[in-house]
């Protein structure tokens, strides 16, 4: 099998799996909120995991809040910060039209509560223009959210510039960095965000654990009441998973530059070979900075689901977009926001490479596309 759906979920790293198994079996059973010896040991392990995450991200340990997913981190960032905003008269929320469905769901919830939402459209290349987003920041804006890298196209957004502008205007800035971790240098020393979301299963950790960084001085109202995580998230902490996330993040950060160079070269070779050997193919997001592992290709005259199934029968795993939106008949909101028609969006597939991708995989996928695309076109008439 060739697995090219790393943007949906990356396999758990062997070192992480081994460490997680050891922690579950031998790590003790104390609750980090208990005052006895077992509880103190659990608290020490949790604090150590928090400090490790903070070192990688360039923030303080107390700013790291563990969650159960990137989706929860996004919801806590937006809904929690909105409800805790110090100036309730500020009712404007600015975001982009190409955010992950988890974040757009939180935005829609706040809109129903009365938030005045502005969704800034990207250009045809999938990148939100800095000047367009900044023009939407008015004196009554409380919160702005812009993803670091898009999960479908891989397009990198101008988060550093927008973060600086928001800081100057007193607007809280959140970035969904779920698809940036392990693929780009990730540091809050470079991108001065107030809130940042991560999910472990995108960079070799287990599913079911994420992080929300909440910078000092920023308040968020807990979605689940409780004293844990500095009052930001109630519930007993999952210490083995917090440790697994910390280890996966350290490993991903350590190999990021080397892996990015290798995968970027393989991705470019893949796109070049497909464009040369298959007619009627366009790279969605071409011409702007993208994370090095992601290629979103549009096949004219092709129903993407049919091509995906044909590839799957050949043992090649790819996707039509966000995993959480798979199985729906609605075309990608990201591609539609870029100006593609519904037919063009449904004719697009995402190929996301990972650490296990090799040159031979590229040749096999290109050969499969060369065989299947004409057949799928013929069947579609």
For the residues 301-327, what does the mean pLDDT come to?
Answer: 86
- Distance, in Å, from the CA atom of 46 to the CA atom of 27, rounded to the nearest integer, reads 12
pTM of the model: 0.96
Report the run of H or E that residue 264 belongs to, with start and end. Answer: helix 239-277
- Give the containing element (helix H, strand E) for 317: strand 316-317
CA distance 315 to 141: 48
Residue holding tokens 């999938």? Answer: 126
Q: Is 60 exceeded by the pLDDT of residue 320?
A: yes
Residue 131 has pLDDT above 70, yes or no: yes
Distance CA 374, CA 380 (A): 10
On the question of pLDDT at 326 being above 70, the answer is: no
The tokens of 245 are what?
């996330």
- Categorize the per-residue pLDDT at 328 as very low, low, confident or very high, splitting at 50, 70 and 90: low
* Pair 148, 177: CB distance under 8 Å: yes
The pLDDT tens digits of the residues spanning 166-177 come to 999 999 999 999
Q: How far apart are CA 223 and CA 292, in angstroms?
A: 35
Architecture of domain 256-380 in CATH? Alpha-Beta Complex (3.90)
In the chain, where the domains are located = 256-380
Residues annotated as catalytic are 324
Counted residue by residue, the chain has a size of 381
Contacts of 200 by beta carbon, 8 Å cutoff, 6+ apart: 206, 207, 208, 209, 210, 241, 244, 245, 248, 249
pLDDT value at residue 380: 85
Mind listing the pLDDT tens digit for each residue in 76-128?
999 999 999 999 999 999 999 999 999 999 999 999 999 999 999 999 999 99
pLDDT exceeds cutoff 80 at 262: yes
């Amino acid at each position: 099998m060739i697995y090219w759906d790393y943007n949906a979920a990356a396999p758990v790293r062997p070192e992480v799996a081994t460490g997680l198994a050891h922690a579950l079996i031998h790590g003790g059973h104390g609750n980090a909120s208990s005052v006895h010896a077992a509880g103190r040991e659990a608290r020490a392990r949790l604090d150590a995991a928090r400090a490790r995450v903070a070192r990688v991200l360039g923030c303080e340990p107390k700013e790291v809040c563990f969650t159960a997913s990137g989706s929860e981190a996004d919801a806590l960032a937006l809904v929690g910060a909105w409800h805790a905003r110090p100036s309730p008269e500020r009712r404007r929320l600015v975001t982009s039209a190409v955010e992950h469905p988890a974040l757009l769901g939180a935005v829609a919830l706040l809109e129903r509560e009365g938030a005045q939402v502005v969704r800034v459209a990207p250009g045809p290349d999938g990148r939100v223009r800095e000047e367009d987003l900044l023009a939407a920041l008015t004196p009554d804006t409380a919160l702005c959210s812009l993803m670091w890298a898009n999960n479908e196209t891989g397009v990198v957004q101008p988060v550093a510039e927008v973060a600086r502008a928001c800081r100057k205007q007193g607007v809280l800035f959140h970035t969904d960095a779920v698809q940036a971790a392990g693929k780009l240098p990730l540091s809050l020393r470079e991108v001065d965000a107030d809130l940042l979301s991560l999910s472990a299963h995108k960079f070799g950790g287990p599913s079911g654990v994420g992080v929300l960084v909440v910078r000092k001085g920023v308040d968020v109202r807990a979605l689940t009441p409780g004293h844990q995580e500095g009052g930001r998230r109630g519930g007993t902490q999952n210490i083995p998973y917090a440790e697994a996330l910390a280890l996966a993040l350290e490993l991903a950060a350590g190999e990021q530059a080397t892996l990015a160079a290798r995968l970027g070269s393989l991705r470019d070779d893949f796109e070049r070979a497909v464009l040369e050997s298959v007619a009627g193919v366009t790279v969605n997001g071409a011409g702007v900075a993208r994370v090095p592992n992601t290629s979103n290709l549009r096949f004219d005259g092709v129903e993407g689901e049919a091509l995906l199934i044909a590839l799957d029968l050949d043992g090649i795993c790819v996707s039509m977009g966000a995993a959480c939106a798979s199985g729906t008949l609605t075309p990608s909101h990201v591609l539609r926001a870029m100006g593609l028609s519904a037919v063009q969006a449904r004719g697009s597939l995402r190929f996301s490479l990972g650490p296990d991708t090799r040159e031979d995989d590229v040749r096999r996928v290109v050969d499969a596309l060369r065989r299947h695309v004409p057949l799928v076109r013929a069947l579609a008439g």
